[in-house]
Amino acid sequence: MKNIKLPALFFAVAMCASALAQTPLITNIPARKTISLNGKWQYIVDPYETGFYDYRYKEMKPSDGGAYWTTDVPKDKSDRKEFGYSDKQTLNVPGDWNSQAEKFFYYEGTVWYKKSFDFTKAKPGNRVFLHFGAVNYKADVYLNGHKLGQHKGGFTAFDFEIADSLIKAKGNYLVVKVDNKRFKDEVPTLNTDWWNYGGITREVNLVEVPGSMIQDYVIQLKKPETTNAAPEVEGWIKLNHAAANETATVEIPELKMKKTFPVNGDNCAVNFKLPGVQLWSPENPKLYKVVITTSADKVTEKIGFRTIETKGKQLLLNGKPLFMRGICIHGENPVEGRRAYTSKDAAMLLSWAKELHCNMVRLAHYPHDEKMTRMADSLGILVWSEIPVYWTIEFTNPDVLEKAKGQLNEMITRDHNRASIIIWSVGNETPVSPARTDFMHSLITKAKELDNTRLVSAALEVNGAGGKHVVDDPLGEFVDIVSFNEYLGWYGGTPNSCRTANWEIKYDKPFFISETGAETLGGFHADSLTRWSEEYQEWYYKEQVAMFKRMPDNFVGLSPWILADFRSPKRNNPVYQEGWNNKGLVDHKGNKKKAYYILRKYYDEKTAK
């Protein structure tokens, strides 16, 4: 050690730390052999992080008996333990902590979760991974007193491989330190218009896979090179610890398609035509059983096949012009006031969108639970999926860019076989500056590297003054669809200002209104000039619809803000908000407001055309 130069020492430490980073993401968890760790977990609230730092504020080591990730069982009767897990304090997993007990409602800080479990592998040669659907925001994960690793990012999945030496047949001690404090150099940053729900907010599973496993794959149609090009799959299969001379077989029984491909290292390129395939669309959300087999592993998934592209000012789904009748949705069950994570939550939100006669949803402002995107596949609802690069992110900080790229990669990796997803969004309403445009442009480049079959967009900025509204955001040069949010008649003027509004889109591309909306307390009625009344919101939508009808011809759709009221700490009008942003077309009792029917009427007219 004496002749190692200091930087090398730091590098060595960094390498150890990064070795703790999570392992490559296994996808299609529902198809794997899993043991659920959902249910009641014991917890300790730790606002001072007493269980993590010693009294000199140094991260504690295994030998420090007070760390909350070590055993809470005293060695003997004289041993001093000033912490412990008990059934007196349990939280449901999955689920945010804010909605589970009054004391957690506004809590931002650390909560330690603990779960004990027994485990024996089904087959000795198998490998075991611990998989989290999402934890908001930072998770430090320990098993039997050993740190598996850390993950940051509140809305994307991650996993850690568990070495055989670490897991016991009886009494495994899994501890997760969850910290949802906000920081300016995180993604999202300090300021958001949504509730900072903390906790293990999505499912936790032990996943058992063969020693040589199918880790991930893309089986999607490539963008057509010519009009009416025959449907062709161009994808790949990623193995992990592939056997020598391995091959991978892709089978789609209903199409009588079965083809075997050579594996090179852990990689396998996949390419085949799909004559006779029924293309997935909102009108016909056809999904096919796809079976991928190698010498040691086999996974099955329902996949839809469609193409999405832009051509000049047009947006084309399966080669035909598409108008997106959308609505924005937060990942929240508004009736129960909590993070959405169940199939019932997904069914409620997506059925409200279907009842609104939508063919598209913008899942704001972060990747939603996987049940939402899988259900959108089945219901035939197009999806815009977004990472929370929201408002005033630290655009000059390279670490923040890496964090954003990491979340982009995790979002796309989990969902790149979802036919419903047609747009990856790299952010929302980010203030224009050279650093911001460079930051967002590199995210767009990264998204296209990760997935060249879908479109990339973001909610851009609008220059509006005196009735003239110009969309010339420099980021418009790099997105496939020019999208922007406008609140004409809510954040500026009254709804009649829509009548004289002129829109100029500085790009010869399709454009999309990614947000528009007005706030009303469901059930409050007055004349249309009375702000916060349902009549004001109804008037707003009437004027907006009249304006949509005058939009330039490259207008390809909208996703008004928002399907349902949602919690926000920024909304504190004591009569009309009380900690809720009430721009929903459905209120937080599940009642439809008058404006709901104005938008649905417009969507019916668009469908009739």
Binding site for ligand GCU (CB under 6 A): 193, 365, 428-429, 485, 515, 561, 581, 583
| Residues sharing a CB contact under 8 Å with residue 531, sequence separation 6 or more, in sequence order | none
Which residues, listed in sequence order, are joined to residue 497 by a DSSP beta bridge? Answer: none
Phi, psi (rounded to 5 degrees) for 226? -135, 160
Q: What is the distance between the alpha carbons of residues 517 and 537, in angstroms, rounded to a whole number?
A: 8
| Residues sharing a CB contact under 8 Å with residue 460, sequence separation 6 or more, in sequence order | 471, 473, 475, 476, 479, 482, 483, 484
| Tokens matching residue 545 | 């619809």
Compute the least distance from the CB of residue 581 to ligand GCU, in Å: 5
What's the first-to-final CA gap in the chain, in angstroms? 76
Compute the least distance from the CB of residue 568 to ligand GCU, in Å: 7
Q: What is the distance between the alpha carbons of residues 51 and 152, in angstroms, rounded to a whole number?
A: 19
Evaluate the omega torsion of the peptide bond into residue 388 and state whether it is cis, within 30 degrees of 0.
no
Q: What is the largest CA-CA distance in the chain?
A: 81
Q: Distances from the Cα of 87 to the Cαs of 23, 91, 99, 111, 606, in angstroms?
A: 32, 10, 19, 15, 56
Give the neighbor-by-neighbor strand order of the sheet with 127-132: 33-36, 204-209, 127-132, 158-162
DSSP collapsed to 3 states, 323-358? CEEEEEECCEECCCCEECCCHHHHHHHHHHHHHCCC
DSSP at 181: -
> For the chain, what is the radius of gyration of the CA atoms?
25
Q: What is the distance between the alpha carbons of residues 499 and 488, in angstroms, rounded to a whole number?
A: 10
| Residues sharing a CB contact under 8 Å with residue 36, sequence separation 6 or more, in sequence order | 203, 204, 205
Give the neighbor-by-neighbor strand order of the sheet with 320-321: 308-311, 314-317, 320-321
**In 3D, which of 35, 44, 13, 4 has the Cα closest to residue 117?**
35
Virtual torsion, Cα 487, 490, 493, 495, nearest 10 deg: 90
| Residues sharing a CB contact under 8 Å with residue 252, sequence separation 6 or more, in sequence order | 258, 274, 288, 289, 290, 291
| Residues sharing a CB contact under 8 Å with residue 456, sequence separation 6 or more, in sequence order | 423, 424, 425, 426, 444, 447, 448, 478, 479, 480
Indicate the residue among 204 and 353 with the shorter CB distance to ligand GCU.
353
Compute the least distance from the CB of residue 472 to ligand GCU, in Å: 19
| Residues sharing a CB contact under 8 Å with residue 426, sequence separation 6 or more, in sequence order | 386, 387, 389, 404, 408, 440, 443, 444, 447, 456, 457, 458
**In 3D, which of 493, 496, 596 has the Cα closest to residue 544?**
496
| Residues sharing a CB contact under 8 Å with residue 40, sequence separation 6 or more, in sequence order | 87, 90, 91, 92, 93
